[in-house]
Structures are given as structure tokens and as C-alpha cells.
Amino acid sequence: MPELTTEYNPLDPATLDDPYRVYAELRAAGTPLWSERLDSWVLTSYDDCRQVLLDHERFAADWRRAGETVPEPALDVHTVDPPEHTAIYGVLAEALRDMTSPALAARVRAHVSDRLDALPPGPVDLITTFTEPLARWFIPEAVGLPHFDLTEIRPVAEAITRAMDSGLVPEAREPGVAAQRKLAALIDGWVAAMSPGEPIRDLVDRAGEAGVPHQLTMNSLRTLVVNGFTAVPASLGNALNALARLEAPPKELFDAPETLEKAPHEFFRYEAPIQGTTRLAVADTEFSGVPVRRGQGMLMLFAAANRDPAQFSDPDRLDFKRKANHHLSFGYGAHACTGSMLAHLLLRELLTVLAERGMEIRLTGPAVHKRLATVRTLAELPAEVVR
């Protein structure tokens, strides 16, 4: 069995600071590689990752199909497979398409402008003063939930986020499951207090009519709330960090509507907020020249696939006019993340405000990444907004 020739520890400080050198070394091996540390096959090529994402018959997002026990709070739209997955995914996707409206975009532009104007002059930490508060305002604003009481929601969301690394940090698993249960119950209470016709109440009612179990709907709504603490602030911080390192200002980079539409996807490709995810083999099989046994993991490193030169020309460079940018940052196929529509809208409107107002981001110190493997996100981004 081909094994890793490069020691791959996702939580190694040097890897957290710059994983792309390690990804390139892994990808150069040209085949799925077995990791004893991760107890999984590690996939770094675009074609391999995409193939596993599309093949839910052989590779399960629902680990029960591979013989694992999955606690009920962990079952949501991302962790069940067709046909159980089909109805809840359809209801969520339709609802989020409706929410991603010109009216929401206008509210976001106004709010972003206000938040930028409220920043003090001189250097600030853009993570704690701008991107994280913006993300936590945006999610409830977009989907029609009560605005977050951070004293209640923050520790719950942080426990769920830490549990995403439970394959590496097993002690994070049980607190994460307890937090998933607590957050789903909170959302259930919010929905019960809503009037018929409110967007989230309507979503829950339509899911019930489609035969979706109520708890699966609550668990799936939980993933939207958690996005306000994971993928959404991560994508904002990563984008601003990359933007500040470019020579041209936003007003020159994003000078046309079609460029603004493409730019968020290029930022998502360049620095994936979610580095990867794992599927389990449902039965013994062969994949890309290696034997895969039932229950073995297939760790798809989206961030590595997004920099695969076999799929993307000059992958280590930002190209806001890149064509056919089918990155994997939000998955692909049946389990593609429906929340990507909201993340795209938020980043697009932020870039629009920066370009229209002639603002620039200038770094005033080194960016610091959080010590998380699954979510690539910044703890600090010292910078100045030049008006």
C-alpha cells in the first residue's frame, strides 16, 4: 500500500501557517496515499477528490452505511446520503436561493459601508473588529433567525468547530456532539416562536410536508448557524488577507460586474475555508490504483485539489477572470454546500463596497491562523483600511 512519504500532520504549526507546500509534495506522489495518523487515504488531486464526491454509492457521507455509529445530533444535510438526503437538500437549496436576493445584497452593502466607516483610523485587527462581527450579523439577517446572543451561541459554535478536528483531537468529539444537540434545540425554540409565513418557519413546514424528519431539519438549520462562526468569517478573512497582498487596489481589480461575480469564487479556490472532508468506503473496492477496504476513510483535501495544476493554470496566483473555475471549496455533486450562495453574496458585496469607495486594505503586521485543521481561518489580521 502506498504510504505518505511526507509526514503530514494537519495541526503542525508550520503546516497550519502554509499548507500548500505540503499539499504539493503529497500531490507529486501521483496516487492516493495511506496515512496511519489519519487512518485514511489522503487525496490531493482534483480528479480524485471530485470522483469521490460524485460517487455516493461507493463512498458514504453517512458513515452508518460503512458500519460506524453516528449520534443523532450529528445527522444533518451534510452527513446523510440519498435518498434520505434528497428532500432536505432540495428544500434548503430552494429556500436559500429565495433568500439570496437583490434586497439582501443592498442591505449587505449598506451594512458593510457602515462597519467600514466605524473602524477607527490606523491599524486594527480586521478579524475581531470586522470580519467576525460581519459574518455573525449576516447569517441571521440573511436567513431570518434572531440575531445571535454571543454569550449563548459562541461557546456552542466553538465546541462544534473544534469537533471538526476530532479525528486528530478525539477529546473534542463528545463536547461537539453535546453542542450540536444544544444548538439544534435552541433553533427549534426560535422556529416555534415564529409566525406562519416567516422564511425559516416556511422552510421547516415545507420540509415536514416533504417527509423530512423534524430533527433532521433542525440539525440542518444548525449548520447554517455554525457557518456564521466557521466558513463565512474564514472566507472573508482569507480574502482580505490575500487582497492586501496584491499590488493593484480593489477599484482597479474589480472594475466590472462580471469580474465582481467571479472574484469570490477565485478567493474561495485560492484559500479554501474548509480544507477537506472525509467519506468512508461502503464496501471493498479499488480506487485510482489502490485497494480500499470497507470502512476506510477517503480524506479529500479540497485546498490541495484547488491548487492542482492539472486542473487550474497557474494555481498559486489569483486570477479574477479565471474561466471554468469549478473549485471544490464547497464540495461538489449531491452534497455541494447550499450555503455557498450566501457566502458568495456577502464577499461579492464587500468587494463591491471596497471598489466603489476606492478603499484599500494595507497589512500592518503578520496574519495569524487559528490552530484548526479543518477550518482554515485567521485569528488576527493586523491591517489598516485606507479610505
pLDDT at 4 over 80: no
Residue 3 placed within a domain = no
pLDDT at 145 over 90: yes
* Region 241-259 average pLDDT: 96
Residue 6 placed within a domain = no
Average pLDDT, the chain: 95
Residue 32 placed within a domain = yes
Residue 4 placed within a domain = no
User: How far is Cα 261 from Cα 275, in angstroms, rounded to an integer?
Assistant: 23
Q: What is the pLDDT of residues 306-326, one digit of tens each?
A: 999 999 999 999 999 998 899
pLDDT at 338 over 90: no
pLDDT bucket at 1, cuts 50 / 70 / 90: low
Residue 164 placed within a domain = yes
How many CB atoms are located within 10 Å of the residue 67 CB?
11
Q: CATH number of the domain that 54 lies in?
A: 1.10.630.10
* Region 331-348 average pLDDT: 92
Residue 378 burial class via C-beta count within 10 angstroms: exposed 0-12, middle 13-18, buried 19 and up: buried
* Residue 67: domain span: 13-386
pLDDT bucket at 339, cuts 50 / 70 / 90: confident
Residue 8 placed within a domain = no
Predicted pLDDT of residue 3: 62
pLDDT at 191 over 60: yes
Q: Which of 47-56, 126-135, 328-337 has the lowest mean pLDDT?
A: 328-337
* Region 191-209 average pLDDT: 95
Predicted pLDDT of residue 153: 95
* Region 208-213 average pLDDT: 97
Of the chain, the percentage scoring pLDDT greater than 90 comes to: 94
pLDDT at 212 over 60: yes
DSSP 113-172: HHHHHHSPSS-EEHIIIIIHHHHHHHHHHHHT-PPP-HHHHHHHHHHHHHHTTTTT-GGG
pTM of the predicted model as reported, rounded to 2 decimal places: 0.95
Q: What is the pLDDT of residues 5-49, one digit of tens each?
A: 567 899 999 999 999 999 999 999 878 999 998 999 999 999 999
* Region 262-278 average pLDDT: 97
pLDDT at 356 over 90: yes
Q: How many independent structural domains does the chain possess?
A: 1
Question: SS in 3 state form for 332-387?
Answer: CHHHCCCCHHHHHHHHHHHHHHHHHCCCEEEECCCCEECCCCCECCEEECEEEEEC
